[in-house]
Amino acid sequence: MTELIQLLQEKVKLLQNASPLEKITKGYSSDTKYVFTLDENKFLLRVSDMQRYVKKKAEFKLLKDMRHLNVNVPKPIEIGSVEEQNSCYTVYSYMEGIDAKEAIHTLTEEEQYNLGVEAGVQLSKMHLYEAPCSINSWYERVMEKHYRYLAAYKSSGIKIKNDERIIDFIEMHKHVLKNRSNRFQHDDFHLENIIVKDKKYAGVIDFDNFDWGDPLHDFVKVALFQREISVPFSIGQIEGYFDDQVPDDFWLLYSIYSGMVIFSSVVWSSRFAPEQLEQMIMRLYTLLEDHKYFEMQIPKWYESNKF
């Protein structure tokens, strides 16, 4: 990595007179990330394997377009490759502030709700971005992924109580996923990727896993993470997204995706974060109780807490 950094400092003009690179270890991204300062402005350098260069160029363009939609995202500065090191790099403006997971407990319930509202408004702007016409239908892709995770779950040796009720619920309602729109999905829109400054929403980061499909799939992180940490934020995100007019069909889609995430979360945690598996399973049981194993489509925490 030292040789690669030396090559980058020769290749990238911004680095030539910048402060020493400060490595960031937080997060699950496969990228190596650094912060540096130049002329009192902070920047983020991400270094990736060359195999990801095509995806990184798509992400770079995407963020440019997002800024034209008035979405608060890091500004793309430069992208390039270092072929002799089989690597590529991107430079973005650095978004000042702290992540919402860290900030949320310093806020009143009203401030948490208002933060969620702005997060929902910003997410709705991101979802205006349509997928390339070459992308296959959402229904085909989401069901293929679901069945793949379901098979992996069944062979994992881990058992969620009454899992057949979840499977049956998804099967019974999967037809509503047909003809859902193909639009941008952040695919990791949660509190740790939302930046807060002076108790206000500053922006969203980490587009590493962006995808295309039903934009409402981005709300699965509300069920999985947001709700556990801040119910006011979760309610605000939903109501801000829909301008306080939540459509009836939202909750069925939300429930289907919440059901699917039960199995994918077990598989993902057992493979990549086994030390967090027990905590994840407890979180999944909370999700199931919120919906009474999907006898209820609107979760209990939403119906009993209005701001």
Share of the chain above pLDDT 70, in %: 98
Range of the domain at 88: 2-93
Q: Rounded to whole angstroms, how far apart are CA atoms 126 and 129?
A: 6
263 & 231 share domain? yes
Total domains in the fold of the chain: 2
Order of strands, sheet of 32-38, starting from the edge strand that comes earlier in the sequence:
22-24, 32-38, 41-49, 87-93, 76-82
- Does residue 119 share a domain with residue 8? no
Sign of the CA dihedral running 212, 200, 250, 259: positive
Q: Are residues 84 and 134 in the same domain?
A: no
Domain final residue, candidates 70, 93, 116: 93
* pTM score, whole prediction: 0.93
Is there a single domain that holds both residue 251 and residue 109?
yes
- In tens, the pLDDT along 1-27 reads 578 888 998 888 899 989 999 999 877
- Note whether 251 and 160 are same-domain residues: yes
Give residues with Cβ within 8 angstroms of 97, minimum separation 6.
103, 195, 196, 197, 202, 203
Q: Which amino acid is at 81?
A: S
- Please give the pLDDT value at position 153: 98
Q: What is the DSSP string of the chain?
A: -HHHHHHHHHH-HHHHTSPPPEEE--SS-SSEEEEEEETTEEEEEEEEEGGGHHHHHHHHHHHHHHHHTT---PPEEEEEEEGGGTEEEEEEE---SEEHHHHGGGS-HHHHHHHHHHHHHHHHHHTTSBPPTTSPPHHHHHHHHHHHHHHHHHTTT---TTHHHHHHHHHHHGGGGTT---EEE-S--SGGGEEEETTEEEEE---TT-EEE-GGGGGHHIIIIIHHH-HHHHHHHHHHHTTT---HHHHHHHHHHHHHHHHHHHHHHHHH-GGGHHHHHHHHHHHHHHTTTTT-SS-HHHHT---
Considering the domain architecture, whether residues 30 and 149 belong to the same structural domain is answered as no
Q: Are residues 219 and 88 in the same domain?
A: no
In this structure, the answer to whether residues 139 and 257 fall within a common structural domain is: yes
| Per-residue confidence (pLDDT) for residue 113, from 0 to 100 | 97
68 and 194 housed in the same domain: no
pLDDT value for 305? 67
Amino acid in position 8 = L
Looking at the fold, whether 47 and 155 belong to one and the same domain comes out as: no
* The domain boundary residue, chosen from 45, 65, 93: 93
Domain final residue, candidates 74, 93, 112: 93
Residues 75 and 108 in one domain: no
CATH number where 175 lies: 3.90.1200.10
CA atoms within 13 A on the CB side of 233: 29
Cβ atoms of 90 and 82 within 8 Å: the answer is: no
The CA distance from 111 to 89, in Å, is 37
Q: Do 87 and 104 belong to one domain?
A: no
Which residues of the chain register pLDDT less than 70? 1, 28, 304-307
Residue 151: alpha-carbon gap to chain centroid: 24
